[in-house]
Amino acid sequence: MALKNRLAGHTNSYHTHSLEEALEGIAAAGYRYVELSAVHGWTEHVPLDADARTLSRIQRMLNTLGLIPVSLSGHSDLTTAAGLKLGLMALDLCDRMGIGIMNTAIGGHYSEQEDEAAFMSNIFKLADRAAELDVQVGIEIHGEITNSAKNAIPVINKINRKNVGINYDTANVTFYSGALAVDDLPLAIPYMVHCHLKDHIGGARDWNFPAVGEGQIDFKRVLAIMEEGGYTGPLSVEIEFTGDPWPPVAEVNRAMKSAYQHLVSLGLS
């Protein structure tokens, strides 16, 4: 196996640490690509309202470390007018930084009792603006309505826009729905624009997301499914540990490097 998907480190793995620490750790672990987090009220590594000077400073850091941003995590509650505004700001940030994929979810960072009708009334405005900017939108396997590929596909079909697809999350599918990625992932492949490689220990609602290769997910099979299905989009490693308090930066660095080495051993390069 020799998958050529761009393998990124997600700065959300450094949730309580600085962007500088995140980028340095991701680069030192071996990644050449990065997913930047710009989630209002959660991990704001890149401010949604960043001015030109701030973005220039971030770009210099990326250049110095040899990192290329492939996606932006811009989650907001798209069932509300305020969340739509944040989503549009995230798209603008993608445009200003030259990033082609913006990941989001129906109800934002942590979703409960999502309102599908309210989401549908807003998503077309987001999709239209994304199309104008030539940005793809990845609706994450996350929350209640899109908690698995099986349940997300009807939503993607209702949206019916070429630039809106699935951001698959290999751990969220179990956390939110109880299903296993190896069973659910094949359904998602034709709809995927992005994927979070995230490991998990436990069942539904067990917040335990260790380094890739240190949990229960069979990533050898996950990668084989992607190769068999012809998925060539970005893969982003996300580690969320056991939540707060977040581990020290040295442990995050160790986990990110361990994940990278495990995935390389499985054929990613």
pLDDT digits (tens, 9 = 90+) for 24-58: 999 999 999 999 999 999 999 999 999 999 999 99
- As a whole number of angstroms, the distance between CA 64 and CA 9 comes to 16
pLDDT at 185: 98
- Of 168, 190, 189, give the one whose Cα is nearest residue 179: 168
| Predicted local confidence at residue 114, as pLDDT | 87
Q: Which residues contact 196 (CB under 8 A, 6 or more apart)?
A: 10, 140, 167, 168, 169, 170, 171, 172, 236, 237, 238
pLDDT for the residue 109: 61
Question: What was the pLDDT predicted at 132?
Answer: 98
154 token code pair: 């009807």
Confidence at residue 1, expressed as pLDDT on a 0 to 100 scale = 45
Q: Which residue positions in the chain have pLDDT lower than 50?
A: 1
Going from the N-terminus, what domains does the chain have, and what CATH number goes with each? 7-265 (3.20.20.150)
Neighbouring C-beta atoms of residue 4, cutoff 10 Å: 10
Q: What is the pLDDT of residue 108?
A: 64
pLDDT of residue 112: 63
**What is the distance between the alpha carbons of residues 252 and 241, in angstroms, rounded to a whole number?**
9
SS3 at position 239: coil
31 closest CA partner among 246, 238, 248: 238
Closest CA to 179 of 199, 149, 209, 206: 149
